Amino acid sequence: MSERDALKTVVAPTRVDWLTLGLILGCYAAWAAGLFVVAAWSLPVAVVVLGFAIAFHSSLSHEAIHGHPFASDRLNAVLMAPALALIVPYARFRDTHLAHHRDEHLTDPYDDPESNYLDPARWTLLAGPVQALLRVNNTLMGRLLLGPVIGTVFWLRGDLQALRSGERAVLMGWLAHIPAVALVIWLVALAPMPVWAYVVSAYMGLSLLKIRTFLEHRAHEKARARTVIIEDRGPLALLFLNNNLHVVHHMHPKVPWHRLPALYRANRDHYLRRNEGYRYRSYAQVFRRHFLRAKDPVPHPLWPQD
């Protein structure tokens, strides 16, 4: 089956993606249950429940950015506005992620907002302990333990520079974040869960997301070969809403999460030719290979050295 025929089969225009909407409502219900019910019974279990709910909320926010469950960007933004992860404004996530989808800039240390590579010239200016910390962060273990802090520091540093430059979109994104995070903090204050425990849950949620983003993209001369396929159909694939089939998502960003597997199965060889075989069988294979061993150097290996 050709890719065009497969797209016709799996992509039927709908006004509302009811499956995604149902998951969003279920995610909020699970979050509320963890916060108000489970926390009264067992705080450690509640921390874990909320950690997964926060990670799932981020995956659903990613779907909303790409037009699901509603065709209206405004409706999607309102639906996903509560800042369950505390630190990530939805509008900033939306703007930076859509910039990331300019595939010709993938892994670019400057023009790809989600790149984990640094300009080699900038790398050489970093102090030895900072370089060591970033090298550890390039292992999966380091990304899980340190990634949320390091990623947040880089995120905030970039946005502070943008605010100093007078970028209105960045300012508006952070202003919209104030009521979004205030709502969450208010609800946490009403719940039997201490604020510190909720912060741990938020950190866990961000850490889980680092599993997905760890090797989504690699340095490669060809832009089409920079994006991974992880052929996993287990719990993590559901948590990440099939975003492990990442090259399919980048080629068809408007296709909803639940239609990506069928599209991939129909044209598996095509996608693997396109990304030149950048593939893992499962997340278990990713853990085995990279839990203690870095996939990449921190300085971009193909960036001009001068």
What ranges make up the beta strands (E) of 184-263? 229-230
Average pLDDT over residues 111-135: 95
In sequence order, what are the residues at sequence separation of 6 or more whose Cβ sits closer than 8 angstroms to the Cβ of residue 258? 19, 20, 241, 242
How many other CB atoms are there within 10 angstroms of residue 260's CB atom? Answer: 21
Residue 304's pLDDT band, with cuts at 50, 70 and 90, is: confident
The pTM is what?
Answer: 0.94
* Residues 140-185 pLDDT 10s: 999 999 999 999 999 899 999 999 999 999 999 999 999 999 999 9
DSSP state string for 98-121: HHHT-GGGTT-TTT-TT---B-HH
- Please state the domain extents for the chain: 14-220
- Per-residue pLDDT at 269 exceeds 90: yes
* Residues 235-268 pLDDT 10s: 999 999 999 999 999 999 999 999 999 999 999 9
Report the pLDDT value the prediction gives residue 15, as an integer from 0 to 100. Answer: 83
What ranges make up the beta strands (E) of the chain? 229-230, 279-280
Q: Is-contact 214 114, C-beta < 8 A?
A: no
Residue 287's pLDDT band, with cuts at 50, 70 and 90, is: very high
* Residues 3-39 pLDDT 10s: 555 555 555 456 899 999 999 999 999 999 999 999 9
